[in-house]
Structure 1
């Protein structure tokens, strides 16, 4: 069971959990249902967001949504599912679906997270929220993470955005770009928070060790 949320008020922080993809590259079905610590990965990540200080989580499903809903459980009323019927058009449509649902709660800020990052811990989410400042975007950097080409990404998810920035960022996203549109924000508005550990995505068979 997840620890008690640090900030239970959804009008403060609402999270968007992007979990709509089909997991085609990995070839094991929707990543939301990858097994992690004895349950579907989507359940684990949703609980991490709550325990880290998000008052509400909106889980965006798409590929095999009915199957995910049948196999995953979200008993906490702070977690709600929204289905993106246009998920196959790319991550941008799921981002817009999730941000629209989150903004409907009237939060002060929005967290954007990916379901395929099992390395994210409640402490990492709490660190992001503590570091975020009004009018800015806080992005993650993972101390031990390397991309498939051996490079070290400049920034990654989760992200924390002011509510006033989340809508425009989602609206400007195209195709699979998702929240990369944040890169076009003025440099003074983008801050990076470094976390210990490895926050890389589970994209290929080589990444399955992250689920151990």
Structure 2
């Protein structure tokens, strides 16, 4: 098969992924995750249930598909950093840029559709549990980018945890009623503090 045909096939596959995921999320937002069956999602997407499971191994994957592009994001930032830039400096730069762009992954986004999605995600225990699997894979990818070995694994675990906590805190405040603009300044300050702690260790908070 030619590269052109392979590329076309892959694009069609990605479009199907996106269309099915979007249809499922719309139904989950309207009626609740637990009140919508996989069979109903398949019917709405005009595909069979077995076909749906070929794309999405579990019902939770229909929602977490939106995170698939971000699973190895930290690893890609480290691998693609500028010459002379440290991994931590690259990750700091990337996260601050995400805050500035109101990237939903940073938790600092108050667009109604993003708020609804986050409420669905964090309000559904099975989705939260599945999200930890995503974070574990993100940690492993980052450890590989850092060089593997115990030091790299320890660093990756700390970094992924910090990014998660920063995003959750931003999301918590926005969900409580603050706007992204109101949270932005303290979100930047918290991120700066977090990266200082990553760089210098925990001595300053264990005194």
Q: What TM-score range do you get, normalising by the shorter chain?
A: under 0.3
Instruction: Pick the structure with more strand per residue.
Output: 1
**Under a length normalisation based on structure 1, what TM-score does the superposition of the two structures give?**
0.26
Higher relative contact order (Cα pairs below 8 Å, separated by 6+ residues): 1
Instruction: Pick the structure with more helix per residue.
Output: 2
